[in-house]
Amino acid sequence: MRTRKSAATRKAEIVEAALRLADRLGPDRMSTEAVANAVGITQAGLFRHFPRKQVLWEAVADRIGTMMEEGWAEALRGKARPGDKIRALVVAQLRLIRATPAIPAILFSRELHTDNDGLRTAFLALLGRFHGRIAGLVEEGIDAGEWDADLDPGDAAFLILGLVQGLAVRWSVAGRGFDLVAEGERLLELLLRGFARPPAGTARPEPRS
């Protein structure tokens, strides 16, 4: 019993450690003992702050939500054009994933979702908010004449979300062997280019064979 910290500080420390360990070990292999060791308390001591492990996961989910929302707010500051806002949002999201790679691991962990439906729907809502913001910006861009008026903002936003998620997956499977953010920026430019008004005659693809 060296130092005693306030419950609030400890809780934050624990959540932080959980985010680190969920990445290193995989969310489902992150044991309460590993987390306790990482923050320098005993395993039993952890339960003083989170009476069940699930409550810890809820706190982690909360933290992820906060980090994302903060990142988005920060990213949008000073950006005017919808295209730039979208670029900023995507870059912010990728930077967050790079700094906290546990996020996709937790977000998409089948293990966590099987007996924790609340978590699953919380993450679904979070992704929904991201999608909503992007879709809104695409609509602005269409109104501003920057992109094709035939573009469905929701679908376009799904493509952008897919870019981020697909990239995160590839980055993880590839052992983080490339620059997540730079790769994302390049692919986003390519995608956004395609949102521009198509040349007459190519707008609708020919019917399939």
User: Which of the choices a copy of itself, DNA, none does residue 45 contact, using the CB cut-off of 5 to 8 A by kind?
Assistant: DNA
Q: Which residues sit at the interface with a copy of itself, rule CB under 8 A? A: 22-29, 78-81, 83-84, 87, 105, 107-114, 120, 123-124, 127, 151-152, 155-156, 158-159, 161-167, 169-170, 172-175, 186-187, 189-199, 202-205, 208-209
Asked if residue 52 lies in contact with residue 77, where contact means CB atoms within 8 angstroms, the answer is no
Sign of CA dihedral 76, 77, 83, 89: negative
- Interface with DNA in residues 17-76 (CB under 7 A): 29-34, 40-45, 47-49, 51-54
CA distance 102 to 80: 32
| Amino acid at the residue 165 | Q
Collapsing DSSP states into helix, strand and coil, what is residue 198?
A: coil
Q: Shortest distance, CB of residue 172 to a copy of itself, whole angstroms?
A: 7
Is 166 within 8 Å of 153 (Cβ atoms)? no
In the complex, minimum distance from the CB of residue 14 to DNA, in angstroms, rounded to a whole number: 9
Minimum CB distance to DNA smaller for 32 or for 93: 32
73 vs 125, beta carbon nearer a copy of itself: 125
The footprint of DNA on residues 175-204 (CB under 7 A) is none
Sequence-ordered list of residues with C-beta below 8 angstroms from that of 20, at least 6 positions apart, any chain: 38, 102
Q: Of 41 and 192, which CB lies nearer to DNA in the complex structure?
A: 41
Minimum CB distance to DNA smaller for 49 or for 87: 49
* Cα-based distances in Å from 139 to 73, 91, 144, 151: 19, 20, 9, 9
Identify what 77 binds: a copy of itself, DNA, none; CB under 5 to 8 Å per kind. none
Residue 96: partners with Cβ closer than 8 Å, 6 or more residues away: 67, 68, 71, 103
> Which residue in 52, 46, 44 sits closest to 17, CA to CA?
46
Q: Which does 44 bind (CB under 5 to 8 A by kind): DNA, a copy of itself, none?
A: DNA
202 binds, among a copy of itself, DNA, none (CB under 5 to 8 A by kind): a copy of itself
What whole-number distance in Å separates Cα of residue 36 and Cα of residue 136? 43
State the residues that interact with DNA by CB under 7 A. 1, 3-7, 10, 29-34, 40-45, 47-49, 51-54
